[in-house]
Amino acid sequence: MLFTTDENNVFGKSLKEAGTYNVRVTNAEAKNSKSGNPMVEFNYEVLDGQYAGAPIRYDYAVWNDDEDHFDLSVRRFNTIMIASGIPSGKAVDNLPQVASVMKNRKLAVTVDWEQSQNGNWYLRVKGYHKLLQEGSQPNGKTRPESGQNSRQSNFDGNRGQALLDIVNKPHRLKTTALTAKPTSTRLCLPMVSHNDHSNHNNQMQMNCRFN
């Protein structure tokens, strides 16, 4: 036998809810951030539950050793490593060592939706915990509507309302069209200020009658 088919071992799975998930570190790579600070990029795979096999990518832990951020950097990496089961008292010399040690380790991560600069929403890691004995816990919070989609929806809604107004109020143009004569090309054009609205209505009726 070569292998046994398994619905939980397929490509194309994706995480659709925020929550806290048991994961395995599939890759950890030491590199530099855009600002030049050393960091480790972590990628994970969900271990259990309905999203087992789904990836969680591009979790960055940045190291900044200036006076104001050194303690925060130590705490950040210490939190990740302790959550993965590494015991206290282990000396860490550099970030490539962290990346090497963290590969294939297991922990739990909390993810939530975060909006990027392009308006789209992505799941980002917000916290690290030891493995959940009760299993992964999605919280039912799905991807919010992007700003772009929201603007498109509003535009479509306004456009739809305008079309409904035209359909529901055709009688003025239809009635006057029965007596229209081709003496003018200025057919009820709404080229008038709000202050002249009443005059425009009178003029519009006159144009419709004589065109």
**85 has pLDDT over 60:** yes
Average pLDDT estimate for 132-144: 97
Half-sphere exposure of 17 (CA within 13 A, CB side): 14
High-pLDDT (> 70) share of the chain, %: 67
In eight-state DSSP terms, residue 138 is E
Query: In the predicted model, what is the mean pLDDT of residues 54-75?
Result: 94
- Tell me the whole-structure pTM to 2 decimals: 0.66
Strand partners, 40: 30, 61
Give the mean model confidence (pLDDT) for residues 60-83: 95
**What number is the average pLDDT over the span 177-181?**
46
Q: What mean pLDDT is predicted for residues 41-61?
A: 97
pLDDT of 185: 45
pLDDT in the model for residue 11? 73
More confident residue, 121 or 172: 121
Q: What is the pLDDT of residue 148?
A: 54
- As a dihedral over the C-alpha atoms of residue 67, residue 73, residue 74, residue 78, rounded to 10 degrees, the angle is 170
Contact criterion met (CB below 8 Å) for 15 and 51: yes
The answer on pLDDT for 60 being more than 60 is yes
